[in-house]
Amino acid sequence: MHPDRVIQTYELIFVKEGVLSLEEAGREFDLQAGETLLLWPGRRHRGVRPFAPGLSLLLGTFRTPGGSG
C-alpha cells in the first residue's frame, strides 16, 4: 500500500499495468493503466487499498524553480 504521508515535493505517478488506489486531501483516485496523477506538495496522500498483484508504475518526485515543492 502506498504510505500515508505529506511531502514537500510534487509526486508524479504513471500506472503502467493494473490499478492504483490513492487519496489526496480527501479525494480518492483509482488510476488505471495508462493514467497519470500529479500529487501536490504539502497535501496528505495515502493508499486506500493494498497494491494489486501485477501493479506496475513509475513514480517521480520533483520541485519547481522558485515555486512550491
Question: Domains of the chain: which residue ranges?
Answer: 1-35
Pairwise CA distance, residues 12 & 57, whole Å? 10
Pairwise CA distance, residues 56 & 40, whole Å? 22
Pairwise CA distance, residues 15 & 52, whole Å? 12
| pLDDT tens-digit map of 21-46 | 999 999 999 999 999 999 999 999 99
pTM of the model: 0.86
Pairwise CA distance, residues 63 & 44, whole Å? 17
Question: What does the pLDDT read at residue 54?
Answer: 92
pLDDT band at 49 (very low <50, low <70, confident <90, very high): very high
